[in-house]
Amino acid sequence: MQYLDYELRGDVALIGLNRPEKRNAISDSFVEELDGAITRANGEAKAGVIFGRGPHFCAGLDLAEHVQKTPFEGVHGSRRWHEVFGRIERGKLPWVSALHGAVVGGGLELASSTHVRVADRTAFFALPEGQRGIYVGGGASVRTCRLMGLARMTDLMLTGRSVDADTAERWNVVQYVVDEGQALDRALELAAKAASNAEFSNYAVINALPRIQDMGSDDGLFVESFIASFAATTPDAEARLQAFLQKKAGKVGRPEDK
Protein backbone atom coordinates (compact mmCIF):
# COMPACT_ATOMS: atom_id res chain seq x y z
CA MET A 1 0.00 0.00 0.00
CA GLN A 2 1.23 3.49 -0.84
CA TYR A 3 -0.88 5.69 1.40
CA LEU A 4 -2.03 3.30 4.12
CA ASP A 5 -0.60 0.57 6.30
CA TYR A 6 -2.51 -2.37 7.70
CA GLU A 7 -1.95 -4.55 10.75
CA LEU A 8 -4.03 -7.23 12.44
CA ARG A 9 -3.67 -7.13 16.21
CA GLY A 10 -5.71 -9.94 17.71
CA ASP A 11 -9.28 -9.46 16.51
CA VAL A 12 -8.70 -5.79 15.67
CA ALA A 13 -7.59 -4.47 12.27
CA LEU A 14 -5.50 -1.29 12.37
CA ILE A 15 -5.52 0.98 9.34
CA GLY A 16 -2.91 3.72 9.49
CA LEU A 17 -3.23 6.74 7.22
CA ASN A 18 0.36 7.03 6.05
CA ARG A 19 0.86 10.12 3.91
CA PRO A 20 2.31 12.42 6.58
CA GLU A 21 4.12 14.69 4.12
CA LYS A 22 0.66 15.71 2.83
CA ARG A 23 -0.94 15.74 6.28
CA ASN A 24 -2.65 12.47 5.19
CA ALA A 25 -4.67 14.32 2.54
CA ILE A 26 -7.20 12.10 0.76
CA SER A 27 -6.72 11.46 -2.96
CA ASP A 28 -8.59 9.11 -5.29
CA SER A 29 -5.86 6.48 -4.90
CA PHE A 30 -6.07 6.92 -1.13
CA VAL A 31 -9.80 6.15 -1.21
CA GLU A 32 -9.22 3.01 -3.29
CA GLU A 33 -6.56 1.78 -0.88
CA LEU A 34 -8.96 2.39 2.00
CA ASP A 35 -11.61 0.36 0.22
CA GLY A 36 -9.19 -2.56 -0.12
CA ALA A 37 -8.17 -2.32 3.53
CA ILE A 38 -11.81 -2.38 4.63
CA THR A 39 -12.38 -5.51 2.55
CA ARG A 40 -9.38 -7.18 4.15
CA ALA A 41 -10.51 -6.21 7.64
CA ASN A 42 -14.00 -7.59 6.99
CA GLY A 43 -12.45 -10.97 6.24
CA GLU A 44 -9.96 -11.06 9.12
CA ALA A 45 -11.13 -8.97 12.06
CA LYS A 46 -14.03 -8.39 14.42
CA ALA A 47 -13.43 -4.63 14.85
CA GLY A 48 -11.23 -1.95 13.35
CA VAL A 49 -9.26 1.17 14.25
CA ILE A 50 -8.34 4.00 11.89
CA PHE A 51 -5.55 6.40 12.89
CA GLY A 52 -3.13 8.82 11.29
CA ARG A 53 0.64 8.61 11.11
CA GLY A 54 2.65 11.77 11.61
CA PRO A 55 1.49 14.98 13.30
CA HIS A 56 -2.10 14.82 12.02
CA PHE A 57 -5.00 12.43 11.57
CA CYS A 58 -6.09 13.87 8.22
CA ALA A 59 -6.23 17.42 6.85
CA GLY A 60 -8.86 16.58 4.23
CA LEU A 61 -9.15 16.53 0.47
CA ASP A 62 -6.06 16.54 -1.75
CA LEU A 63 -6.79 19.93 -3.32
CA ALA A 64 -3.97 19.68 -5.87
CA GLU A 65 -5.72 16.66 -7.39
CA HIS A 66 -9.21 18.11 -7.00
CA VAL A 67 -8.59 21.31 -8.95
CA GLN A 68 -7.72 19.25 -12.04
CA LYS A 69 -11.15 17.58 -12.16
CA THR A 70 -14.13 18.44 -14.31
CA PRO A 71 -17.45 19.00 -12.49
CA PHE A 72 -18.63 15.51 -13.44
CA GLU A 73 -15.37 13.96 -12.23
CA GLY A 74 -15.90 15.82 -8.98
CA VAL A 75 -19.39 14.35 -8.60
CA HIS A 76 -18.09 10.87 -9.35
CA GLY A 77 -15.28 11.28 -6.82
CA SER A 78 -17.70 12.49 -4.15
CA ARG A 79 -19.99 9.54 -4.71
CA ARG A 80 -17.04 7.17 -4.43
CA TRP A 81 -16.14 8.70 -1.05
CA HIS A 82 -19.75 8.16 0.01
CA GLU A 83 -19.59 4.53 -1.09
CA VAL A 84 -16.32 3.69 0.65
CA PHE A 85 -17.05 5.64 3.84
CA GLY A 86 -20.48 3.98 3.87
CA ARG A 87 -18.74 0.59 4.06
CA ILE A 88 -17.35 1.79 7.40
CA GLU A 89 -20.51 3.41 8.73
CA ARG A 90 -22.93 0.63 7.83
CA GLY A 91 -20.70 -2.32 7.23
CA LYS A 92 -19.81 -5.50 9.06
CA LEU A 93 -17.44 -4.27 11.76
CA PRO A 94 -17.47 -1.65 14.50
CA TRP A 95 -14.82 0.99 13.76
CA VAL A 96 -13.06 3.33 16.18
CA SER A 97 -11.05 6.34 15.02
CA ALA A 98 -8.05 7.66 16.96
CA LEU A 99 -7.76 11.39 16.29
CA HIS A 100 -4.92 13.84 16.79
CA GLY A 101 -3.74 17.04 15.16
CA ALA A 102 -5.80 18.16 12.18
CA VAL A 103 -9.18 16.46 11.76
CA VAL A 104 -10.24 18.79 9.01
CA GLY A 105 -12.59 18.68 6.02
CA GLY A 106 -12.45 15.19 4.53
CA GLY A 107 -10.59 13.99 7.63
CA LEU A 108 -13.58 14.94 9.76
CA GLU A 109 -15.86 13.26 7.21
CA LEU A 110 -13.84 10.05 7.48
CA ALA A 111 -13.90 10.20 11.28
CA SER A 112 -17.67 10.82 11.17
CA SER A 113 -18.15 7.51 9.36
CA THR A 114 -16.64 5.58 12.28
CA HIS A 115 -18.79 4.51 15.21
CA VAL A 116 -16.63 5.65 18.13
CA ARG A 117 -14.22 8.59 18.01
CA VAL A 118 -11.36 9.16 20.45
CA ALA A 119 -9.45 12.45 20.32
CA ASP A 120 -6.31 13.45 22.12
CA ARG A 121 -5.87 17.04 23.27
CA THR A 122 -3.86 18.04 20.21
CA ALA A 123 -6.84 17.38 17.92
CA PHE A 124 -8.66 20.24 16.24
CA PHE A 125 -11.70 20.09 13.99
CA ALA A 126 -12.81 22.28 11.09
CA LEU A 127 -14.77 22.36 7.83
CA PRO A 128 -12.92 25.03 5.80
CA GLU A 129 -14.44 24.20 2.41
CA GLY A 130 -16.26 27.55 2.21
CA GLN A 131 -12.95 29.40 2.45
CA ARG A 132 -11.61 27.26 -0.44
CA GLY A 133 -14.59 28.07 -2.66
CA ILE A 134 -15.95 24.52 -2.51
CA TYR A 135 -18.47 22.50 -0.50
CA VAL A 136 -18.21 19.36 1.61
CA GLY A 137 -18.34 16.23 -0.55
CA GLY A 138 -17.40 13.26 1.61
CA GLY A 139 -20.63 12.90 3.57
CA ALA A 140 -20.45 15.76 6.09
CA SER A 141 -23.86 17.14 5.06
CA VAL A 142 -25.35 13.96 6.50
CA ARG A 143 -22.93 12.26 8.89
CA THR A 144 -21.09 15.19 10.48
CA CYS A 145 -24.18 17.38 10.58
CA ARG A 146 -26.09 14.68 12.45
CA LEU A 147 -23.32 14.50 15.02
CA MET A 148 -22.88 18.21 15.78
CA GLY A 149 -26.21 19.61 14.58
CA LEU A 150 -27.14 22.00 11.79
CA ALA A 151 -26.38 25.28 13.61
CA ARG A 152 -22.87 24.25 14.64
CA MET A 153 -21.95 22.88 11.25
CA THR A 154 -23.29 26.02 9.58
CA ASP A 155 -21.09 28.07 11.89
CA LEU A 156 -17.97 26.04 11.05
CA MET A 157 -18.59 26.29 7.31
CA LEU A 158 -19.47 30.00 7.25
CA THR A 159 -16.78 31.27 9.60
CA GLY A 160 -13.94 28.81 9.02
CA ARG A 161 -13.40 28.46 12.77
CA SER A 162 -11.76 25.37 14.27
CA VAL A 163 -12.67 23.80 17.60
CA ASP A 164 -10.60 21.85 20.09
CA ALA A 165 -11.14 18.34 21.42
CA ASP A 166 -13.09 19.39 24.51
CA THR A 167 -15.48 21.44 22.40
CA ALA A 168 -15.80 18.54 19.94
CA GLU A 169 -16.81 16.28 22.82
CA ARG A 170 -19.46 18.76 23.99
CA TRP A 171 -20.73 18.91 20.41
CA ASN A 172 -20.99 15.10 20.18
CA VAL A 173 -18.31 14.93 17.48
CA VAL A 174 -16.13 12.70 19.69
CA GLN A 175 -17.04 10.49 22.62
CA TYR A 176 -13.67 10.36 24.39
CA VAL A 177 -10.92 12.91 25.02
CA VAL A 178 -7.55 11.67 26.26
CA ASP A 179 -4.11 13.12 26.91
CA GLU A 180 -1.72 13.79 24.05
CA GLY A 181 -0.44 10.61 22.44
CA GLN A 182 -3.03 8.34 24.10
CA ALA A 183 -5.76 8.22 21.44
CA LEU A 184 -4.55 5.10 19.65
CA ASP A 185 -4.15 3.07 22.84
CA ARG A 186 -7.63 4.04 23.99
CA ALA A 187 -9.10 3.32 20.56
CA LEU A 188 -7.51 -0.14 20.55
CA GLU A 189 -8.92 -0.83 24.00
CA LEU A 190 -12.42 0.18 22.92
CA ALA A 191 -12.21 -1.75 19.66
CA ALA A 192 -11.13 -4.89 21.54
CA LYS A 193 -14.18 -4.53 23.80
CA ALA A 194 -16.45 -4.18 20.78
CA ALA A 195 -14.79 -7.19 19.14
CA SER A 196 -15.73 -9.31 22.16
CA ASN A 197 -19.47 -8.63 21.67
CA ALA A 198 -21.82 -10.98 19.88
CA GLU A 199 -21.38 -10.52 16.14
CA PHE A 200 -25.10 -10.11 15.48
CA SER A 201 -25.44 -7.54 18.26
CA ASN A 202 -22.65 -5.44 16.76
CA TYR A 203 -24.20 -5.71 13.31
CA ALA A 204 -27.59 -4.60 14.63
CA VAL A 205 -26.09 -1.62 16.45
CA ILE A 206 -24.20 -0.53 13.33
CA ASN A 207 -26.94 -1.13 10.78
CA ALA A 208 -30.31 -1.11 12.53
CA LEU A 209 -29.87 1.65 15.10
CA PRO A 210 -29.13 4.48 12.62
CA ARG A 211 -31.98 3.36 10.39
CA ILE A 212 -34.38 3.31 13.35
CA GLN A 213 -33.29 6.87 14.13
CA ASP A 214 -34.50 7.83 10.65
CA MET A 215 -37.95 6.27 11.24
CA GLY A 216 -41.01 7.56 12.99
CA SER A 217 -41.26 6.44 16.62
CA ASP A 218 -43.96 3.81 16.06
CA ASP A 219 -42.09 2.25 13.12
CA GLY A 220 -38.84 2.31 15.05
CA LEU A 221 -40.32 0.57 18.06
CA PHE A 222 -41.90 -2.08 15.84
CA VAL A 223 -38.59 -2.84 14.12
CA GLU A 224 -36.78 -2.87 17.48
CA SER A 225 -39.07 -5.63 18.75
CA PHE A 226 -38.24 -7.91 15.82
CA ILE A 227 -34.49 -7.32 16.05
CA ALA A 228 -34.45 -7.88 19.81
CA SER A 229 -36.47 -11.09 19.45
CA PHE A 230 -34.23 -12.47 16.69
CA ALA A 231 -31.00 -11.52 18.46
CA ALA A 232 -32.00 -13.44 21.58
CA THR A 233 -32.40 -16.67 19.56
CA THR A 234 -28.85 -16.80 18.19
CA PRO A 235 -26.56 -19.49 19.69
CA ASP A 236 -24.08 -16.82 20.75
CA ALA A 237 -26.75 -14.92 22.68
CA GLU A 238 -28.04 -18.07 24.35
CA ALA A 239 -24.54 -19.00 25.54
CA ARG A 240 -23.88 -15.48 26.85
CA LEU A 241 -27.22 -15.29 28.66
CA GLN A 242 -26.65 -18.67 30.28
CA ALA A 243 -23.18 -17.60 31.40
CA PHE A 244 -24.68 -14.51 33.03
CA LEU A 245 -27.47 -16.48 34.73
CA GLN A 246 -24.92 -18.96 36.03
CA LYS A 247 -22.85 -16.07 37.40
CA LYS A 248 -19.97 -16.84 35.03
CA ALA A 249 -20.13 -13.38 33.48
CA GLY A 250 -19.54 -10.14 35.34
CA LYS A 251 -22.26 -7.64 36.15
CA VAL A 252 -22.19 -4.03 35.02
CA GLY A 253 -20.04 -1.99 37.37
CA ARG A 254 -19.57 1.67 38.12
CA PRO A 255 -18.26 3.95 35.37
CA GLU A 256 -14.56 3.67 34.62
CA ASP A 257 -12.49 6.58 35.78
CA LYS A 258 -11.17 7.35 32.28
Q: Point out the residues that are catalytic.
A: 109, 129
Contact between 154 and 148 under an 8 Å Cβ cutoff? The reply is: no
**Distance between CA atoms of residues 143 and 141, nearest Å:** 6
DSSP string computed for 115-181:
SEEEEETT-EEE-GGGGGT----SSTTTHHHHHH-HHHHHHHHHH--EEEHHHHHHTTS-SEEE-TT
Nearest of 195, 173, 187, 164 to residue 51 by alpha carbon: 187
How many of the other CB atoms lie within 10 Å of CB of 67?
Answer: 10
